[in-house]
Amino acid sequence: MEKIEKTLEEWRAMLDPEQYNVCRLKGTERPFSGKYNSTRTDGVYHCICCNAPLFDSKAKFDSGCGWPSFYEPIEDSAMVEIRDTSHGMIRTEVTCAHCDAHLGHVFPDGPPPTGLRYCINSVCLDLVPR
């Protein structure tokens, strides 16, 4: 998939206000408010901005953090990790490799087999059921 580049105005026109705030301005949704936080539907989660596949539901687990959590992306190349020092913390931001949409953060406190917890905003995702 080729890199997708659009102006902020183009993104604003295609996304709803919350999607735009989170995906393009690096905001976050309130914990436990996202539509995919508790879902168990079998399928593939895609980027809401560019439709790139990001996570398989088989890698989803209940971390109790208030956002959908996954222990691995569908492919390592699906996202980019960026050092994030905002809000007085050191974290690792994850963005879509194809359109640079902010997705959330990854933490080293997840379950086996990876030990990772990709903490992802629901508004960044579109679940395509199998």
Active site residue 49: no
Residue 72 structure tokens: 């691995």
65 is in an annotated binding site: no
Please indicate if the annotation marks 124 as binding a ligand: no
Single out the catalytic residue among 23, 49, 119, 124: 119
99 is in an annotated binding site: yes
Distance CA 130, CA 120 (A): 21
* Distance separating alpha carbons of residues 93 and 80, to the nearest angstrom: 8
Binding residues for Zn(2+): 47, 50, 96, 99
Binding residues: 47, 50, 96, 99
- Catalytic residue positions? 119
